[in-house]
Every structure is written in structure tokens, then in C-alpha cells.
Amino acid sequence: GPDHALIGGIVAVVVFVTLCSIILLGRYLARHKGTYLTNEAKGAEDAPDADTAIINAEGSQVNAEEKKEYFI
């Protein structure tokens, strides 16, 4: 009699709270998921490997002049 109704009510509340928690957690995680901008070199996206990407990248410092240091 009354024991079955009480147990059924408790189970229903637990299932309802669990489903609501899963939905809210899913919405939170979906909202915080996204793309992020990075400071990667432009022109390096199509390179077959990392070395080629560095050499072919715009603004790379591979061909930059080295600063000379003089010790007295």
C-alpha cells in the first residue's frame, strides 16, 4: 500500500533531479565550448610538417638579422 507509493515518489524525484542536472550541465558545457584565437604564424596552416611551416610562415624570424653582442 502506502510504502510502494512513497518509494515510487522518492524514485521519481531522484530521476527528475538527475535529468535536470544532466540537462543543465550539458548546457553549461556547450556554452563554454568554442574556438579560440591563437597567435600562430599566418601561412603555416598548409605546411606538411612543422619545419616547413616555420620556414614558410609570414613574419617568421628565420631570416631575421642576428643582433651582435660585443664584450669589452
pLDDT band at 2; cut points 50, 70, 90: confident
Residue type, 48: P
- pTM, two decimals, is 0.43
The predicted structure's pLDDT at residue 59: 56
Q: How far is CA 55 from CA 9, 11, 13, 22, 46, in A?
A: 68, 63, 62, 48, 12
pLDDT single digits (tens) 9-57: 999 999 999 999 999 998 888 777 666 666 666 666 677 777 777 776 6
* Continuous H helices in 1-72: 2-31, 50-56
